[in-house]
């Protein structure tokens, strides 16, 4: 137990040292040797915990989004269906970071790891794990064809992350330099793509994208360094009057109420998946 705790403390020290150097010098300019020197840890011990600088950066990315997701789930709540909205809110947060000011060292780090494909690997692994959980919970049919489709979507989504950086100036220009409008377009696009990956009905996709937008407009995000993030939602009560997920009397139905219109959409969340290998009826 003592040895395990010491190992975890060493790993934490490496990550904290690397984060400080990445913020100061940038991801590309920082070397593993510099991280070793600054932390006082040998190269062999660093390599024991992280196979490469990219592996270390990927762990930093995972830590940030795990922290953010935990915070947003705390703010939104744990009702059935909110987890999908929380995922979409996390994507809005990611877009916000990637299009941050050029002199923001945190934004620069995440743009660099997006360009290197590190963010893509992190999100691909995360999406595949999420899809597995949703299949186990009977949100998605467990068929080989469907799993293959989800895998393709996950890779397309993840590897389009650098496009946020490349397309930002063009979208901003098309929006007459209205930063809020341009950012919303890109956030809606990524949140919508995520909902498409889940194969939800179109109306349900729209409702959840609208809900993630409404939540993200009201939360307050405080990012310290590369991984420490705090989320607060001071106007949660007023938001629940406009956007909510309400379970009907039938336990297998969830009604989504969108902020953009007054209509409600019912989504079946309790069905029997087709046996593996058979085509999905969806």
Q: Which of helix, strand or coil describes residue 118?
A: helix
Beta bridge partners of 229: 223
Band of residue 121 on the pLDDT scale cut at 50, 70, 90 = confident
Residues 30 and 184: their CA atoms lie apart, in Å, by 33
Q: How far apart are the first and last CA of the chain?
A: 49
CATH topology of domain 1-51: Arc Repressor Mutant, subunit A (1.10.10)
User: Per-residue pLDDT tens for 56-83?
Assistant: 999 999 999 999 988 888 777 655 556 7
Band of residue 120 on the pLDDT scale cut at 50, 70, 90 = confident
pTM of the model: 0.77
**pLDDT computed for residue 254 by the predictor:** 44
* Residues 6+ positions from 161 with CB-CB distance below 8 Å: 94, 98, 114, 119, 120, 123
Question: Is residue 127 over pLDDT 80?
Answer: no
Quick one: tokens of 171? 């979208």
User: Per-residue pLDDT tens for 267-279?
Assistant: 333 322 233 333 3
Beta bridge partners of 222: 230
**pLDDT computed for residue 161 by the predictor:** 81
**Domain segments of the chain as ranges:** 1-51, 55-268
Degrees, nearest 5: CA angle 266-267-273: 150
Instruction: Give CA separation, 194 vs 9, 203, 239, 258, in Å.
Output: 35, 14, 23, 17
Range list of H helices, the chain: 2-25, 32-39, 43-49, 53-76, 82-98, 105-115, 118-136, 144-159, 161-174, 179-197, 202-218, 236-240
Instruction: Give CA separation, 158 vs 58, 183, 196, in Å.
Output: 13, 18, 14
Q: Identify the residue with better confidence: 280 or 237.
A: 237
Q: Identify the residue with better confidence: 133 or 25.
A: 25
């Amino acid at each position: 137990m003592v040895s395990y705790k010491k190992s975890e403390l060493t790993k934490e020290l490496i990550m904290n040292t690397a984060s400080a150097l990445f913020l100061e010098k940038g991801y590309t300019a920082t070397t593993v040797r510099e991280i070793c020197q600054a932390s006082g840890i040998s190269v062999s011990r660093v390599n024991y915990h992280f196979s490469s600088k990219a592996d270390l950066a990927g762990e930093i990315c995972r830590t940030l989004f795990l922290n953010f997701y935990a915070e947003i789930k705390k703010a939104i709540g744990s009702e059935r269906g909110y987890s999908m909205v929380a995922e979409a809110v996390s994507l809005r947060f990611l877009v916000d970071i990637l299009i941050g000011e050029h002199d923001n060292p945190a934004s620069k780090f995440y743009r660099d790891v997006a360009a290197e494909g590190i963010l893509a690997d992190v999100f691909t692994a995360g999406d595949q794990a999420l899809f597995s959980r949703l299949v186990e919970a009977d949100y998605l049919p467990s068929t080989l064809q469907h799993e293959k489709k989800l895998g393709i979507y996950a890779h397309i989504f993840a590897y389009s992350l650098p496009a946020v950086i490349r397309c930002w100036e063009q979208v901003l220009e098309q929006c007459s330099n209205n930063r809020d409008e341009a950012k919303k377009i890109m956030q809606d696009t990524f949140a919508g793509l995520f909902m498409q990956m889940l194969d939800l009905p179109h109306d349900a996709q729209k409702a959840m994208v609208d809900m993630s937008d409404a939540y993200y407009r009201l939360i307050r995000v405080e990012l310290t360094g590369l991984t420490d993030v705090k989320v607060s939602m001071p106007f949660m009560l007023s938001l629940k009057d406009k956007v909510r997920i309400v379970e009907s009397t039938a336990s297998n139905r969830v009604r989504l109420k969108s902020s953009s219109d007054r209509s409600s959409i019912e989504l079946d969340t309790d069905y029997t998946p087709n046996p593996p290998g058979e085509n999905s009826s969806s």
